[in-house]
């Protein structure tokens, strides 16, 4: 039986981009990590936080452009968009343009645009994942923010709904490896960006191997 043409497969977009981002970061000699926001996405308008080299980006995922309308109808979007478009809020607008993205499938290619432009201002123009990742690892990085700026932005979003960082639970894979053994997979859980940053500082990821240098071409 053929699958319905209008199937919504948001998780497929997430899985494909996370895998591409990880491979691209290794191709560039870096280590890209991602952490799920889970059900708490309703608090910060994002599904995953992506991290590399102490820089952060929040990304909301949709299957296609039809998901933009549903995103605009969310309670957090109704708080966030007017706040970002309020005169005098230019500092947060700048941070939103730097580190808050929405990703979707367009003709089976993943594209990314700023949450501000796409969700809040009704646009639909994005760049392909290849260009996004290329720019991510090219200084100065236009698609990511330092820890201090990202922390400031997330705290501000949470304040719009009178929420706190303690309500933000982030989940990520935590590979624990004893010398000479294959790694086990444990789940790391972090309450807020500050707790995540502390863990990142204490658990520097291993340097990537060069295997993707010959197997992966962006």
Q: How confident is the model at residue 124, as a pLDDT?
A: 76
- Residue at 157 is within a domain: yes
Walking along the chain (218 residues) 10 residues at a time, the average pLDDT comes out as 59 95 90 89 94 93 94 96 94 96 94 96 90 88 91 94 84 70 80 91 68 56
- Residue at 29 is within a domain: yes
Q: How confident is the model at residue 53, as a pLDDT?
A: 84
- Residue at 212 is within a domain: no
> At 75, is the secondary structure helix, strand, or coil?
helix
Domain count, the chain: 1
- Residue at 74 is within a domain: yes
> At 138, is the secondary structure helix, strand, or coil?
coil
Task: List Cβ neighbours of 56 (8 Å cut-off, separation of 6 or more).
Answer: 49, 50, 99, 144, 145, 146, 147, 150, 193
Q: CB atoms < 10 A from the CB of 166, how many?
A: 10
- Residue at 158 is within a domain: yes
- Residue at 214 is within a domain: no
């Amino acid at each position: 039986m053929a699958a319905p043409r209008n199937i919504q497969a948001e998780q497929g977009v997430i899985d494909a981009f996370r895998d591409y981002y990880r491979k691209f970061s290794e191709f560039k000699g870096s280590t890209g990590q991602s952490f799920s926001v889970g059900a708490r996405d309703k608090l910060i308008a994002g599904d995953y936080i992506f991290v590399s080299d102490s820089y952060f980006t929040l990304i909301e995922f949709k299957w296609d452009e039809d998901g933009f309308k549903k995103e605009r109808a969310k309670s957090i979007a109704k708080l966030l968009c007017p706040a970002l478009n309020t005169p005098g809020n230019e500092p947060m607008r700048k941070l939103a343009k730097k580190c808050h993205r929405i990703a979707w499938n367009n003709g089976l290619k993943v594209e990314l645009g700023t949450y501000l432009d796409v969700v809040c201002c009704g646009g639909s123009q994005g760049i392909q994942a290849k260009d996004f990742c290329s720019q991510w690892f090219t200084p100065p990085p236009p698609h990511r923010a330092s820890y201090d700026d990202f922390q400031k932005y997330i705290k501000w979003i949470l304040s719009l709904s009178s929420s706190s960082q303690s309500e933000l639970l982030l989940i990520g894979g935590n590979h624990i490896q004893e010398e000479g053994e294959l790694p086990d997979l444990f789940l790391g859980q972090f309450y807020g960006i500050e707790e995540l940053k502390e863990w990142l500082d204490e658990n520097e990821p291993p340097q990537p191997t060069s295997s993707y240098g010959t197997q992966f071409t962006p």
